[in-house]
Amino acid sequence: MKISVPQTIPPCGQLGHVHFVGIGGAGLSAIARLMHQSGVTVTGSDAAESRLLTALRSEGISCFVGHDASHLDGADTVIASTAVREDNPEIVEALGRGLRLWPRSAGLQSVLLGHQTIAIAGTHGKTTTTAMLTSALRMAGASPSFAIGAEVEGLGTNARRGMGELFIAEADESDGAFLVYTPAGAVVTNVDADHLDNYGTVEAYDAAFTEFIDHVDEFVILCADDPGAAALAGIARQRGLDVVLAGFGDNADLRGSDLRVNGSNTSFTVTRDGNVLGTVELRVPGRHYAQDALLALGAGLTAGYEFDALVDGLGEHRGARRRMEFLGEVGGVRVYDSYAHHPTEIRGDIAAARGIAGDSRLVVAFQPHLVSRTRIYGEAMGIELSAADLVVVGDIYLAREDPDPAVTTRLVLDAVSGPPAVDGGPIGGLDAVVFPLLEPGDLLLTLGAGDITAVGPRVLERLAAGE
């Protein structure tokens, strides 16, 4: 559901009782936590029970399972997820009562007001870069507030109100949310067309990032290795912003070199304007995570913090939930889970999994996310999945969309070339399909932005039971 952004956004302390429709999502739960910590009365609802709802309740936030008009009793403001449909009873009730109805972007902006914000944008890597920057700044002595699109192991949460003025915020472009914010500084990880169900064309998607630069006041850190991000440098300089290109290419101002990936660890040397600053040691695997770390480092240095302390903080980052998250090992089978749902993300995570697997077999179970994305990128998804040794593809996660008989998993499966490709069917039974295909020594990687995250734990249960 598309909800208009209000022309005037007051600070969250002026919103009264705020109710969140879809509070179990990463984005809304972060805003709810921040408002609650700011003294706002917060409630929320979600379609199903979850670990996140349990955590929110333990923090003092009332959460309902299921949607009902009565949940809005006492509410002054309603903030809704884009995945919520117009006929949701709580949306209908909010409109009927004339309550303030906001999208999540307006809710986050109300929390950001009065802070010195660094916003992290880009098609891929936003969550990891935001988490890395937050961890690095905390180690450097800052106490930033933060809002991240996933729970982060080292931080214990996805959002927290800090003691200082600094705020590190993941700025999502999927529904244009990042155009609501007015940050002091920004990071752009990459510009790789996605969410065309919202933007319509690649050109419109790219133009949104150009517009995003208009909202930044002081500086921008751009990935030198991504053509779309690097292309923003000239525009940013014209607008008077300090610009840092960070990456592994010769065009980088803050440059990584001597990249080494060893199992689950990654290291590289950093130079700035030709001067060696030192070495970064990460506890996450792969080049794409090294690029994220360079961008976070660039933002931290530009904000005035010392290299050595920032690097120590980067070394403490152990990943975010659903970003190459290790779920466990049973019977010689290691299981990882990741959020990758775009071809570029699939390529990066499979490459990282290869580094972890070594000579072992890599089995990938993938769930396409959205009919619209599968229609556009289904073939490219299959091509990238071909780098695995065995591929299982589950049914499309519909989220806010309706099924289309012309768009099925065959678009993905038929594009897989080389390894065996299995139609896994409904996600509820995918573990039963995957389990008998596994052998001791395998690494299983579950990929997708939907509910495939439940498959890995169920496979581990089957392995433990010795089925």
Identify whether residues 91 and 26 lie together within a single domain: yes
Last residue of one domain, picked from the residues 281, 316, 351: 316
CATH code for the domain of 388:
3.90.190.20
Identify whether residues 190 and 81 lie together within a single domain: no
CATH code for the domain of 24:
3.40.50.720
Provide the pLDDT for residue 321.
67
Which of 170, 173, 325, 345 is catalytic? The answer is 170
Which of 127, 129, 409, 453 is catalytic? The answer is 127
Identify whether residues 348 and 437 lie together within a single domain: yes
Identify whether residues 308 and 343 lie together within a single domain: no
Provide the pLDDT for residue 467.
66
Provide the pLDDT for residue 216.
97
Identify whether residues 279 and 140 lie together within a single domain: yes
Which of 77, 123, 126, 384 is catalytic? The answer is 126
Last residue of one domain, picked from the residues 74, 103, 132: 103
Last residue of one domain, picked from the residues 103, 131, 158: 103
The pLDDT profile of the chain, 467 residues, written as one tens digit per residue, is: 789 899 999 999 999 999 999 999 888 999 999 999 999 999 999 988 888 899 999 999 999 999 999 999 999 999 998 888 899 999 999 999 999 999 999 999 999 999 999 999 998 889 999 999 999 999 999 999 999 988 887 888 999 999 989 999 999 887 788 999 999 999 999 998 776 777 789 899 999 999 999 999 999 999 999 999 999 999 999 999 999 999 999 999 999 999 998 877 899 999 998 899 999 999 888 888 899 999 999 999 999 999 999 999 999 887 666 777 889 999 999 999 988 888 988 988 898 888 888 889 999 999 998 898 899 889 999 999 999 999 999 999 887 788 999 899 999 999 999 999 999 999 999 999 999 999 999 999 999 988 899 999 999 999 998 86
Give domain status of residue 82, yes or no. Answer: yes
- pLDDT tens digit sequence for 250-276: 999 999 999 998 877 899 999 998 899
Give domain status of residue 5, yes or no. Answer: no
CATH code for the domain of 205:
3.40.1190.10
Give domain status of residue 204, yes or no. Answer: yes
Give domain status of residue 438, yes or no. Answer: yes
How many structural domains does the chain have? 3
- pLDDT tens digit sequence for 287-305: 888 999 999 999 999 999 9
Provide the pLDDT for residue 137.
97
| Residue 378 domain boundaries | 325-465
Active site residue 170: yes
Identify whether residues 400 and 265 lie together within a single domain: no
Provide the pLDDT for residue 342.
85
Cα distance between residue 211 and residue 226, in whole Å = 18
Cα distance between residue 450 and residue 395, in whole Å = 10
Identify whether residues 298 and 152 lie together within a single domain: yes
Give domain status of residue 7, yes or no. Answer: no
Give domain status of residue 108, yes or no. Answer: no
Identify whether residues 24 and 158 lie together within a single domain: no
Active site residue 126: yes
Identify whether residues 349 and 436 lie together within a single domain: yes
Identify whether residues 123 and 71 lie together within a single domain: no
Provide the pLDDT for residue 286.
82
Give domain status of residue 6, yes or no. Answer: no
Active site residue 461: no
Identify whether residues 83 and 130 lie together within a single domain: no
Identify whether residues 53 and 71 lie together within a single domain: yes
Give domain status of residue 78, yes or no. Answer: yes
